[in-house]
Structure 1
Amino acid sequence: MKQERYKSGKILLSIPNAQHYLYLRRSLERFTLSKYRRCFSKFMFRDITEQFLLDYVLYEKTRGGKNGIRGGINQKIKKLHAVCMAAKRAKVYNVNLVAFASVKGLLSTPKTAPKAVSHKIIQQIEVYDRQYLMNKEIFHLDIFLFSCYTAGMSLIDICLLTKESIKENMLVYERTKCDRQARTLLISKAKILIEKYADKGYMNYIFPIIRHKRTTQVQI
């Protein structure tokens, strides 16, 4: 089921999240046919046992190993756990959440190297010689820098940013992913980028990312 939200003059869909659950379903369909010779549609929540989960993890890791990857098993187990949690809240009969204790390690977020860009790297990007870059490449650098100047504003929020969001020396906007209002200081470097693209955005959008009225969320 697609859920719709209206924000900044556009209808936003739950497409990206729905696709993850679609991938999970297809994965489970392959698994149950291969392991149990049964269609996944024949399974009930009570069939999601510890052994089922362990077999599924082994199947996906083996399948992924053949392609030199892990099979995205962490995300699949998390999505399956989320489905069972939702079923439990909806009082569906025989949902066995205890079974997930057997794959508890896959439910936790693994430690990863920090993805933050250092201040030194940002300074290097600022002074990078752009004379041999295409306009599109220059624009991409500007959008990245604008995100850095606005406390890491997400790309989807930058796409939907309008001139009404500018409140003196502040940017006030609604975050697309979590339906909360955000406020960030508008520093001089960010203002320079806004002025650079002031007459290039469609209608009232600050940056020329949305080109026409029918631009969809998928295209963004």
Structure 2
Amino acid sequence: MASIKITLRDKPNTKGEYPIIMRIVKDRKSKTITLGISCKMEHWDITNNKFKKSYPNWNQRNRILLKLEQKALKIIDDFTIQNMDFTLSHFEDKFRGNNSNTNNLIIFFKEIIDEMYRAGRLGNAKALKDTMTSLIKFNGSSYILFKEITTTFLEKYEVYLRETGNKNGGIAFKMRELRSIINKAINRKIINTDMYPFKEYKISKLKSKPVKKALSIDEFRKIRDVDLKEYPHLIEAYNYFMFSIYTRGMNFQDMMLLKWTNIQNGRIQYTRSKTKGKFNLEIIPKVQEILNYYKAQNRPANFVFPILLDEDLSPQQMANRKHKVLQRYNQKLKVIAELAGVEKPLSSYVARHSFATLLKQSGTSIEIISEMMGHADVHVTMSYLKEFDNEVLDVENRKLMDL
């Protein structure tokens, strides 16, 4: 419970008058709010905390104090109705009228999430929504002001995430989503750059040791040559995986959206969903075999793969379908890896990493691999290949044995 009291400040101002203040007490903590009114000590009724009749316009002034007290009590009642465990800072912001959308982080979160949904960027919207929900649980309420997002806040949020089972990767992901919201608020002139908390809190410290995601040449051959004659239900997953590798690591989203109209004159031309980069690929024999397999199905939809079965799906329906098929696809890849004798966890994402790594191990330069993958910066490509640097160095080091 919180209590409100209107009284005089202990010390007078330069005019010899005592400022009238409102003191709110909650959880054994207090906060003083100046009301912008002051008077001489002889004009103040200490017992009843109001102006004496000797003060000019005493009746009007007391009505003002009563309205301010009623306003404060209503704010507390509203917080109680909302079951919000508010802080004294929350109360002050509400009392002073600083509770507009531009000051509330969560309201801005919802605004950006709505924009993402309307733009059809459902994956981005979901990532932001998950982070927002996590922040609300950590804070204990949905009332979070931008000014509260300090380095200390982020450090405590990190501790909370660890306590709830998040590892470095998951923590870094949520911190990046929060940082993106802060950056948008700065770009839209909602907050100033001096409120940016990520100058001191570095997300890079959460970088985990990379887990090998790519196949070696030997592992690739085992997957490529696996015998699935007795496992026809795995053919779909096998085709998706091999098609991705053979098409410069095409990701699942772009495979899902690939249409027969993207295939002309022995080439595949498409725009990557994530980066909007343009690709123009030669159809090599292995890719043509897979295309022939799906062309023979003669499905009514124009999509190459039977992932989206209707061209008139809403963005949400497409997202639901993608999630369902991708989950089933990754589950089947685990079975294929087991049948092929490959112990490494197989997933759709492994195909893209494998494409880059296999070319590197075959002697292709990083610059060419970067161009083939459509990376704007070669350092992005290097991050794909970095996990195998030690193996390459070890091989080179063994050459000393031959000296």
Scaled by the length of structure 2, what TM-score is found? 0.46
**In the alignment, which of 157, 179, 190 is matched to residue 56 of structure 1?**
157
Query: Aligned partners of 2:169 and 2:118: how far apart in 1?
Result: 28
Point out the structure with the larger helix share.
2
Query: Aligned partners of 2:251 and 2:306: how far apart in 1?
Result: 16
> Shift in Å at residue 22 of structure 1?
0.9
Asked if structure 1 preserves the Cα contact closer than 8 Å seen for 2:271 and 2:277, the reply is yes
Query: Aligned partners of 1:90 and 1:56: how far apart in 2?
Result: 25
> Shift in Å at residue 53 of structure 1?
1.1
Amino acid at match of 1:153: M
Asked if structure 2 preserves the Cα contact closer than 8 Å seen for 1:171 and 1:185, the reply is yes
Are 1:119 and 2:119 counterparts? no
1:15-164 matches, cutoff 5 A: 15-33=122-140, 39-41=141-143, 43-64=144-165, 69=167, 72-94=170-192, 96-106=194-204, 109-135=207-233, 137-164=234-261
> Shift in Å at residue 199 of structure 1?
2.6
Count of equivalent residues: 202
Amino acid at match of 1:164: T
Query: Aligned partners of 1:150 and 1:120: how far apart in 2?
Result: 20
Asked if structure 2 preserves the Cα contact closer than 8 Å seen for 1:162 and 1:204, the reply is yes
> Shift in Å at residue 114 of structure 1?
3.7
Query: Aligned partners of 2:263 and 2:311: how far apart in 1?
Result: 22
Identity percentage of aligned residues: 25
CA RMSD of superposed structures (Å): 2.2
User: RCO greater where, 1 or 2, for CA within 8 Å and sep 6 or more?
Assistant: 1
Query: Aligned partners of 1:96 and 1:62: how far apart in 2?
Result: 30
Structure 2 match to 1:208: 306
Scaled by the length of structure 1, what TM-score is found? 0.82
Compare CA radii of gyration and give the structure with the larger one: 2
> Shift in Å at residue 153 of structure 1?
0.6
Of 190-199 and 114-123, more deviation after overlay is shown by 114-123
> Shift in Å at residue 82 of structure 1?
0.9
CA gap 1:23/1:95 in 2 versus in 1, 3 angstroms: farther
Of 47-56 and 91-100, more deviation after overlay is shown by 91-100
Amino acid at match of 1:20: A
Query: Aligned partners of 1:180 and 1:163: how far apart in 2?
Result: 19
> Shift in Å at residue 95 of structure 1?
5.3
Gaps of 5+ in 2: 1-113, 323-403
Gaps of 5+ in 1: 5-12, 34-38
Structure 1 match to 2:377: none
Structure 2 match to 1:8: none
Structure 1 match to 2:276: 179
Query: Aligned partners of 1:185 and 1:109: how far apart in 2?
Result: 37
